[in-house]
Amino acid sequence: MARLADLVWITPNQGGVEHPAIVIRISSDGKSALVISGTGTGPRDIPHVKVEPHLRATAALRMTKTTYFYQTAIHVRLVGELVYHQPAARCPPCFG
């Protein structure tokens, strides 16, 4: 079951590679989720949040490199399509 602020993995583009994503909304029926995906490409001239892997506040995300979450990287996915790497991780309150 998806929860707000869960760290999940999605393939944003068909045939592409997995990217980290944060669940930012879940539909009222619990079947779909709105996620914002991250990328190592940046920074661009688009509003974004930069997540540094070495910071204490982002340690829960277990990122291995600097990741940028752009406001334009929003995706709707079926909850069953979300990939959870083990152990599961949640975004800290300062980012969730």
Provide the pLDDT for residue 66: 92
What strands, in cross-sheet order, belong to the sheet with 67-78?
A: 48-51, 67-78, 32-39, 19-26, 6-10, 89-90
If you ran DSSP here, which 8-state letter would residue 79 be given?
Answer: G
Q: Yes or no: is domain 6-90 CATH 3.40.50.1100? A: no
What average pLDDT does the chain have?
87
Confirm if 19 and 9 have CB atoms less than 8 A apart.
Answer: yes
Lowest mean pLDDT among 31-35, 63-67, 72-76, 92-96: 92-96
Q: Phi then psi for 81, rounded to 5 degrees?
A: -85, -15
Q: Phi then psi for 65, rounded to 5 degrees?
A: -150, 165
